[in-house]
Structure 1
Amino acid sequence: MKLSPSVRQGSALIGIAGTMLLAGCAAESSSAESTTDAPAPSASTSAAPSATSTASSNDSGSTYKDGTYTADGSYQTPETVEKITVSVTVVGDTVTKVDVTGDPQAAETKHYQSQFIGGISAQVVGKKLDDISVSRVSGSSLTSKGFNQALATIRTEAKG
């Protein structure tokens, strides 16, 4: 099938216009910055989070400084207020290592913290710090509240 010159010109113009439209969309979306607010600590927590860090400078344009950051988070269980300590290593805004320790006050808490500690690495290592917010890890949902609280403190420290 042979197209007339006017049909070929019209098709070419539509193709060029479509390409320009898509290029404009790509330019707009790449220039927009996305920010994610850290989750607010739960109203039921009673211990204020604390943080320590060992950071190095990062000139790669990252949001966070490379380093290892540690913070405490707390959460309410039916029996007690529990506390965990979270330590994350950040390189180029990505979590490369996570350690969680707890000091459970109740036997049931010991069980759930142990499950959480066993499964948290698979949930956060390799992910961007801003993209992490856990709700249930290995069957433990309350421990997640303390973890997210500690992570909010770590984000603040890492921006330093």
Structure 2
Amino acid sequence: MAEVINFYSVTDDYGWCSNFAPYPIKARGKMWPTTEHFFQAQKFENDSDQEEIRRANSPMLAARMGRDRKRKLRSDWESVKVAVMREALQAKFSQHEELARLLESTGDAKLVEHTENDNYWGDGGDGRGGNMLGRLLMELREAARKA
């Protein structure tokens, strides 16, 4: 049975897997403090909403702003959110060589965002969640092997 690597907090051994980890990315012509900033900002078409989130002084604040429904969510968000996350992760792991090596070093382990706070991107805390973040990281790891 394959090893399972759980991650969630940036202070954990595998905290670099988290979107809150302090690895800036360049995407869509701008620098973003974290993949979380980029992901949350893409929920909105409005440039000023995106810019406000990009400038948020922490990924936690960016996440909170991205969940604020006083801002108008893109109508196609549900259909593009996985592609946006994939874009963020590709930027993170292609722009930070040490992260690419760390991801590769996980071998064939199953990567799991282990949290009760998220049933879609994470495992829901009980393993029944979608673990989409873990799945995308494993997909990226597999693609890097074939490259």
With normalisation by structure 1, the TM-score equals 0.29
Q: Which has the higher helix share?
A: 2
Larger Rg: 1
Q: Which has the higher strand share?
A: 1
With normalisation by structure 2, the TM-score equals 0.30
